[in-house]
């Protein structure tokens, strides 16, 4: 459960604690968070970790965006914040986002606690998803061992795109606000001030602006009035998309 406070999402620990029951077995943490772009601070993760350990809740940490972190932010893998947390966490990641290798269909889990690892591995084997082809393994090795320079260039490019996107929207698109992402290459757009229904908002983006955003509702409760924009694209494509959104929003006021 997240709440939006002064333009940033925070974890609502009171709400979380209230929702825990005897049947609560697992908590799924997304860090960096998709879609709201938060890179959780150390003290937030420690508080979350304490709640999980105290209530015997296994942490599943989806850290797939862990390398896409912008200036001024630091990603802490939650399993690194102490032995107790390490032994209570399954960390999931992949080179897919960082190195654009989704086509390799590669993911991995880091599970320090042997008994959890055994249950996990047995289940993978039962579902026949534990086998990788050699090309995938070599691509992953090459990415992690030889991809640093490429990644540094990518991060500089993405940060420039992010800053431009935020600046453009603030200056040119009244009615849409940006939740500035600390990491990830996605941006959560707050379109609630446009006062459109979700169907009208989707129509505005898809049919009027002709841009392919993800509808906020596809991320569940709290997504009403929001859209998700992926800015991992050439700056010129981003510019055109923003211009089209701006024109479509201007068109709304002309209709009124």
Ligand X SMILES: Cc1ncc(COP(=O)(O)O)c(C=O)c1O
Q: Which tokens in the block code for residue 154?
A: 């990518």
- Using CB under 6 A as the binding rule, whether residue 77 contacts ligand X is answered as no
**Residue 100 is a binding residue for ligand X (CB under 6 A):** no
Which residue among 27, 29, 34, 238 contacts ligand X (CB under 6 A)? Answer: 34
Smallest separation, CB 154 to ligand X (Å): 16
Binding to ligand X by residue 223, rule CB under 6 A?
Answer: no
DSSP state at residue 183: B
Of 171-190, binders to ligand X (CB under 6 A) are: none
**Which pair of tokens denotes residue 97?**
């986002």
Question: What's the min distance (Å) between Cβ of 65 and ligand X?
Answer: 6
Are residues 60 and 113 in contact, defined by beta-carbon separation less than 8 angstroms? no
Nearest to 5 by CA among 46, 38, 31: 38
Q: Judged by CB, which is closer to ligand X: 70, or 168? A: 70
Which residue's CB is nearer to ligand X, number 66 or number 177? 66
Structure tokens at 9: 């999402």
Q: Is 93 in the site for ligand X (CB under 6 A)?
A: no
Which among 103, 193, 189, 87 is positioned nearest to 143, based on CA atoms? 103
Number of helical (H) and strand (E) elements in the chain, helices listed first:
8, 10
Report in angstroms how near the CB of residue 135 gets to ligand X at its nearest. Answer: 16
| Residue among 11, 30, 169, 213 that touches ligand X (CB under 6 A) | 30
Which H or E element spans position 30?
A: strand 26-30
96 binds ligand X (CB under 6 A): yes
31 binds ligand X (CB under 6 A): no
Two tokens, residue 205: 């983006």
Distance CA(69)–CA(182), nearest Å, equals 6
Neighbouring residues of 18: CB distance < 8 A, sequence distance ≥ 6:
none
Nearer CB in complex with ligand X: 176/228: 228
Nearer to ligand X, 78 or 173 (CB): 78
Number of residues that bind ligand X (CB under 6 A): 8
- Positions touching ligand X (CB under 6 A) are 30, 34, 62, 64, 94, 96, 102, 107
């Amino acid at each position: 459960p997240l709440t939006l406070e002064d333009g940033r999402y925070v974890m609502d620990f009171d709400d979380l604690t209230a929702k825990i029951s005897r049947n609560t077995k697992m908590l799924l943490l997304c860090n960096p968070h998709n879609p709201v772009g938060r890179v959780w601070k150390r003290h937030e993760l420690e508080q979350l970790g304490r709640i999980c350990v105290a209530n015997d809740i296994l942490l599943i940490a989806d850290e797939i965006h862990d390398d896409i972190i912008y200036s001024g932010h630091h990603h802490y893998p939650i399993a690194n914040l102490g032995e107790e947390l390490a032994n209570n966490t399954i960390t999931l990641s992949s080179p897919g986002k960082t190195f654009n290798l989704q086509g390799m269909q590669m993911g991995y889990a880091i599970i320090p606690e042997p008994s959890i690892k055994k249950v996990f591995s047995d289940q993978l084997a039962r579902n026949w998803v534990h086998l990788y082809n050699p090309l995938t393994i070599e691509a992953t090795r090459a990415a992690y061992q030889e991809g640093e320079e490429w990644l540094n260039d990518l991060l500089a490019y993405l940060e420039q795109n992010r800053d431009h996107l935020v600046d453009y929207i603030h200056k040119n698109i009244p009615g849409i606000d940006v939740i500035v992402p600390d990491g990830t290459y996605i941006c959560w757009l707050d379109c609630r001030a446009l006062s459109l229904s979700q169907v009208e908002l989707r129509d505005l983006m898809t049919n009027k602006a002709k841009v392919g955003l993800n509808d906020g509702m596809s991320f569940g409760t709290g997504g009403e009035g929001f859209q998700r924009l992926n800015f991992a694209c050439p700056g010129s494509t981003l510019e055109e998309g923003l211009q089209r959104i701006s024109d479509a929003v201007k068109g709304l006021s002309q209709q009124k």
